[in-house]
């Protein structure tokens, strides 16, 4: 049960640190959320009383906006498809449609410490994660006709800030095989203004995120579910999300696990996502996990993770 409790705490506190959490966490699911990605690394050390994890993870959010200009060429006057291609070069030079990309990224580096307790013979674990947090923003807008790919690397479109933040969590085992947990991530609200581009700028937010989860382990079957207790909105100008996630895992053998997952946005601002995955352990030092995902709007994605234990 110690491993199950730790895995559930990872789902709620460190979404990228555990293969069990791959199909449940925002960052892993982000492969199916438009223009969003994540990655992470963790190193564990433990004794009989305290468990410590040195971790690094990062995730990004991005939005793209297009503005069709008044000088965009009207193609309705061309009768045949091949005639639509016969656009005069002078007309192309007058296109004034614009594209805008605004992105924000959060990188965390910290130490997660878990303390085991017991209340009336009920096992309880309390986790605290102080961390350094770097926030990056990017704001780029250009007229499509004059777009230069090299400009993406220009530092004048970027802004960053390094600060301190904190995660906490608690997990308890009221009956054998059942673990209940709650967590709070990024308890200190942060906000970073993107640089101004073409007269526009947006704010990127890192607000506290609270979640609750339940896990049940029975023989070779594990079932987990967790729910966001508050909606999260990264940009003031966008809609928020609030997820409810389900996942089941069957350990077919000592070295092979099969997983099935589902995620639903209770705000109905994102598509629901289904996942199917497998995990393979090669000996006691190496593991390989693969997850395939498909969303209700026909987007597809995948996650491949390798782990080396030493």
- Cα–Cα dist 305/146, whole Å: 40
pLDDT digits (tens, 9 = 90+) for 145-168: 665 656 656 677 788 999 999 999
Task: State residue 250's pLDDT score.
Answer: 95
Task: State residue 39's pLDDT score.
Answer: 58
Residue 54 CB coordination number (10 Å):
13
Rg over CA atoms, the chain = 23
| Nearest residue to 234 via CA among 209, 259, 207 | 207
Residue 60 CB coordination number (10 Å):
19
Structural domain count, the chain = 1
Residue 252 CB coordination number (10 Å):
10
Distant-in-sequence, close-in-space partners of 276: CB < 8 Å, separation ≥ 6: 259, 260, 261, 291, 292, 293
Residue 27 confidence class, pLDDT cut points 50, 70, 90: very low
| Nearest residue to 184 via CA among 214, 209, 158 | 209
Q: What is the token pair recorded at 251? A: 């350990």
pLDDT at 268 over 70: yes
- Greater confidence (236 vs 241) lies with 241
- Cα–Cα dist 42/54, whole Å: 6
> Position of tokens 């990309």?
101
Residue 282 confidence class, pLDDT cut points 50, 70, 90: confident
| Nearest residue to 171 via CA among 225, 125, 224 | 125
pLDDT digits (tens, 9 = 90+) for 60-82: 888 766 655 545 445 455 454 44
For residues 16 and 28, the answer to whether their CB atoms sit within 8 Å is yes
Report how far apart the first and last C-alpha atoms of the chain are (Å, whole number): 22
For residues 138 and 151, the answer to whether their CB atoms sit within 8 Å is no
- Give percent of the chain above pLDDT 90: 40
- Residue 134's CATH number: 2.40.160
Task: State residue 121's pLDDT score.
Answer: 85
Task: State residue 155's pLDDT score.
Answer: 74
* pTM of the shown model: 0.74
Tell me how far apart the 2 most distant CA atoms of the chain are, in Å.
Answer: 82
Domain ranges, residue 92: 2-308
- Cα–Cα dist 109/129, whole Å: 10
DSSP E strands in 82-121: the ranges are 98-119
DSSP structure class, residue 187: -
- Cα–Cα dist 85/304, whole Å: 42
Across 98-137, b (16+ Cβ under 10 Å) vs e yields bebbbbbbbbbebebebeeeeeeeebebebebebebebbb
């Amino acid at each position: 049960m110690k491993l199950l409790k730790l895995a559930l705490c990872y789902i709620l506190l460190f979404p990228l640190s555990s293969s069990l959490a791959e199909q449940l966490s925002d960052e892993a699911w982000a492969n199916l959320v438009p223009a969003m990605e994540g990655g992470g690394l963790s190193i564990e050390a433990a004794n009989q009383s305290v468990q410590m994890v040195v971790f690094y993870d990062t995730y990004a959010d991005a939005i793209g906006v297009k503005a069709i200009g008044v000088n965009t060429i009207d193609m309705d006057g061309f009768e045949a498809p091949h005639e639509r291609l016969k656009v005069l070069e002078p007309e192309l030079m007058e296109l004034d449609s614009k594209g805008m990309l605004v992105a924000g990224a959060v990188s965390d580096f910290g130490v997660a410490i878990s303390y085991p307790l017991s209340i009336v013979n009920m096992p309880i674990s309390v986790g605290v994660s102080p961390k350094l947090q770097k926030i990056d923003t990017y704001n780029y807008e250009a007229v499509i006709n004059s777009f230069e790919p090299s400009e993406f690397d220009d530092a004048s479109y970027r802004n960053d800030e390094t600060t301190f933040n904190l995660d906490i969590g608690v997990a308890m085992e009221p009956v054998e095989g059942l673990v209940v947990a709650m967590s709070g991530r990024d308890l200190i609200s942060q906000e970073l203004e993107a640089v101004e581009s073409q007269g526009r700028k947006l704010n990127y937010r890192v607000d506290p995120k609270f979640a609750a989860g339940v896990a049940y382990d029975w023989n070779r079957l594990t079932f987990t579910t967790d729910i966001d207790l508050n909606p999260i909105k990264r940009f003031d100008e966008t809609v928020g999300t609030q997820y409810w996630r389900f996942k089941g895992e069957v350990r077919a053998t000592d070295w092979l696990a099969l997983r099935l997952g589902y995620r639903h946005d209770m705000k109905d601002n994102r598509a629901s996502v289904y996942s199917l995955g497998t995990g393979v352990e090669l000996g006691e030092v190496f593991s390989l996990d693969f997850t395939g995902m498909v969303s209700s709007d026909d987007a597809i994605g995948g996650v491949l993770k390798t782990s080396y234990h030493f």
